[in-house]
Copies of this chain bind each other. A is one copy, B any other.
Amino acid sequence: MLNPVSWKSNDGKIVRCYSHKLDNQGGRLRLIEQTLLPEKLKYVELDDTESIFDAIKRLVVRGAPAIGCAAAIGLAAIVRKESFSNSTELVNFAQENANRLAESRPTAVNLFWALDLCMREIKENINAAPDDLQNILLKTALDILEEDIQMCRSIGMHGKELLKDGMGILTHCNAGALATGDYGTALSPMYVAHEAGIELKIYADETRPLLQGSRLSAWELNQAGIDVTVICDNMAAQVMKEGKIDLVIVGSDRLSANGDAANKIGTYGVAILAKYHNIPFYVAAPYSTFDLSLDSGDKIPIEQRDPEEIANAFGRRTAPKGINFYNPAFDVTPNELITGIITEKGIFHPPFSFK
């Protein structure tokens, strides 16, 4: 277990689900310091607002589900170390800090959702004593984490059915344990299969410009003892041609009602290459990723990111000044290129209709 996001109680235990042994016991949010990966595995323990704000902002923790879990557990830690003369005072203090944490990543839906859920729980129990509210807050936060881990594991259980001993699997970017409470989405079937003794050979696209594939996916798969090979994004076609890939599994940031899938830039290209080589292409995502207000993926606007991500490779200038850059953050894979969508509710096959 990587425990990318957890609670570390004052008696030193790493906790991922609530029990009454934690009642009134202090503790801290514990995170993998992801900015140090892949060179170094270091955990940080945090219980003050600005450090937690900073950890989310600086991408110490990233990936929508992981951010939600971290913010909720962080809020519990912040509120837990204070004393309150009454519950209204606690709720006001919690709200102030929740508002601050919510500003750390302005477009992170899971962040707002998790903090709102925490606040709602304590507001609904405003008549309880401050000590009890602190316990309710921690329980709510750890329930969010536990639910996320269970959901990821369910995706993995369903996805595992596609995997057989000796298969080669290609993935893109990082939709792994590090982006969630644990297990991840696209990588979860690989972890569950590995636990069941199924040997796989994973190929990870390095995923320019930010290299989440080589820095994060390759790192976490290797930590789990899974055979992983990193390739540059432009090598995927050759690896497919050589017969090394039996299946592609990627994550998704947003799915429309017809099954079109937005994901990290490059995913759409991989889907075309898979189609050309007759390789099944799967998307793994929690059911909550579906945005049923969208009939198709055409409606999803493509965010443009900072050209410097392309112009500078890790501090060294790699492109001339005075030229243009085009740096779309993600792309949309149309449903006709998708063999199936792996969710915690099972695997869906075309024709997709999620409305």
Contacts and interface: CB of A to CB of B under 8 A. Distances in A.
Contact of A310 (B232, B313, B325): B232
A1 B331 CA distance: 39
B206 A318 contact: yes
Interface string A38-68: 1100000000000000000000000000000
Interface in A304-355: 310-311, 313-328, 331
A211 B331 contact: no
Given A229-B325, A314-B318, A241 B268 contact: yes
A218 interface: yes
B222 A322 contact: yes
A268 B238 contact: yes
A218 B319 contact: yes
B214 A232 contact: no
A239 to B, nearest CB: 7
A265 interface: yes
Contacts of A331: 237-238, 241
A205 interface: yes
Contacts of A239: 326
A269 B313 contact: no
A219 B320 contact: yes
Nearest to A227: B324
A209 B232 contact: yes
Nearest to A207: B234
A208 B233 contact: yes
Most chain B CB neighbours (cut-off 10 Å) among A38, A172, A215, A311: A38
Contacts of A77: none
A222 B317 CA distance: 16
A198 interface: no
A228 interface: yes
A310 B214 contact: yes
A235 B239 CA distance: 18
Interface string A257-292: 000000001101110110110000000000000000
Contacts of A272: 237, 272-273, 276
A8 to B, nearest CB: 25
B326 A211 contact: no
A229 B326 CA distance: 7
Interface string A195-214: 00000000101111101001
B229 A323 contact: yes
A162 interface: no
Nearest to A325: B230
B266 A215 contact: no
21 contacts: A37-B320, A39-B320, A172-B234, A205-B234, A209-B232, A211-B313, A214-B310, A214-B319, A218-B319, A219-B319, A221-B323, A233-B233, A234-B265, A235-B266, A235-B327, A237-B269, A239-B326, A241-B331, A272-B273, A276-B276, A313-B313
Interface of A: 37-39, 172, 203, 205-209, 211, 214-215, 218-219, 221-222, 227-239, 241, 265-266, 268-270, 272-273, 275-276, 302, 310-311, 313-328, 331
Those 7 A-B pairs whose CB atoms lie nearest each other, nearest first:
A234-B266, A237-B269, A38-B320, A233-B234, A229-B324, A208-B232, A214-B319
